[in-house]
């Protein structure tokens, strides 16, 4: 999840720039229950707030141009990771991507189900720090509204959903093995919120990024095995029916001693200006 396009080191979990050339893969039988590493298939009706962030122009049409994931927090508002909209990923600023869109209501990216909705405005947190990964979130404004049933509530500061040990689910269409195996269908993985100290020890700073408890959430399994992976960036981490995190970064996929790091939603709520950015349909940051 840390360095864009890199899996072996700490990296952001965005799909590689070569996504246009990635063939459609179906996991082998032995790995059929592994996705968002160590996960299982789900129908999007079970998590209607999970949407694919897409650009066929930049990432090809094999999987409908999916390169990141988003969470619907308002009928016309989607949260995703800031690093998903960086020039390093898109090759430009978001406003220069003519077909930037979100795909809602579609489990299988190769199907025609659901809706593809154009992004009318993209606001990237101007305080996002690409070295520490602090503030890794962006707000997408949609050209058409989604139904209220697709919106998930956000957990504010002090919500018990952030307590260590809380069971959570992370959703996405990302790599199922950590080796570039991208599925057609939406997956989820069962993880737990972990103590901040585990991520502080795993990510003290330097080349692997720095874990900051005020703005990040540590989640996964102590022994590894279940985690988000490349292509899941911006995906929702949900606990007790509320959004608590967005897939952001980490070291490898499902490694023992290297938990996943998520942007803390309570910090997104705290940051001044993001709501006004949504209302105004602000341009890219």
Per the structure block, which two tokens stand in for 264? 């803390």
Alpha-carbon distance of 58 to 145, in angstroms, equals 25
- CA 105 to centroid of chain Cα atoms: 17
Task: Establish whether 83 is a catalytic residue.
Answer: yes
Catalytic hit among 134, 136, 181, 232: 136
181 is catalytic: no
Residue in this structure with the two tokens 């298939």, named with its chain if needed: 41
Distances (CA, A) of 183 to 31, 60, 104, 116, 225: 11, 15, 17, 19, 18
The question of whether 136 is a catalytic residue gets the answer yes
Closest alpha carbon to 249 in 269, 234, 270: 234
> Active-site residue among 54, 55, 76, 83?
83
The phi and psi torsions of 141 (rounded to 5 degrees) equal: -100, 135
Closest CA to 230 of 251, 215, 256: 251
Q: Which two tokens stand for residue 282?
A: 């602000």
Of 54, 233, 248, 266, catalytic = 233
- Residue 162's φ and ψ, nearest 5 degrees, are -85, -5
Measure CA of the first residue to CA of the last residue in the chain; give whole Å. 21
Active site amino acids? 83, 136, 233
């Amino acid at each position: 999840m840390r360095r864009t396009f890199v899996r072996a080191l700490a990296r952001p979990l965005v799909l590689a720039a070569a996504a246009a050339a990635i063939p459609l893969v179906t996991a082998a039988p032995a790995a059929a229950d592994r996705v968002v590493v160590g996960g299982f298939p789900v129908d999007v009706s079970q998590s209607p707030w999970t949407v694919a962030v897409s650009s066929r122009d930049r990432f090809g049409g094999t999987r409908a141009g999916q390169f990141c994931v988003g969470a619907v927090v308002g009928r016309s508002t989607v949260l995703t990771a800031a690093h998903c909209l960086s020039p390093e990923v898109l090759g430009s600023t978001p406003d220069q991507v003519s077909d930037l869109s979100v795909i809602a209501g579609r489990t299988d990216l190769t199907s025609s189900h659901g809706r593809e909705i154009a992004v009318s405005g993209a606001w990237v947190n101007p305080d996002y720090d690409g070295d520490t990964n602090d503030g890794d979130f962006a707000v997408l404004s949609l050209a058409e509204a989604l139904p209220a049933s697709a919106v998930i509530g956000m957990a504010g500061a002090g919500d018990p959903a952030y307590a260590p040990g809380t069971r959570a689910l992370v959703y996405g269409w990302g790599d199922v093995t950590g080796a570039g195996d991208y599925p057609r269908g939406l997956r989820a993985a069962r993880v737990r919120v972990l103590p901040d100290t585990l991520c502080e020890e795993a990510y003290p700073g330097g080349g692997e990024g720095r874990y900051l408890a005020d703005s990040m959430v540590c989640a996964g399994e102590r022994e590894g095995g279940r985690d988000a992976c490349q292509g899941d960036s911006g995906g929702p981490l949900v606990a007790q029916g509320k959004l608590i995190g967005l897939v952001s970064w980490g070291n490898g996929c499902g490694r023992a001693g290297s938990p996943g790091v998520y942007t803390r939603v309570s910090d997104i709520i705290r940051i001044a200006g993001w709501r006004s950015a949504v209302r105004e349909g602000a341009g890219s940051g």
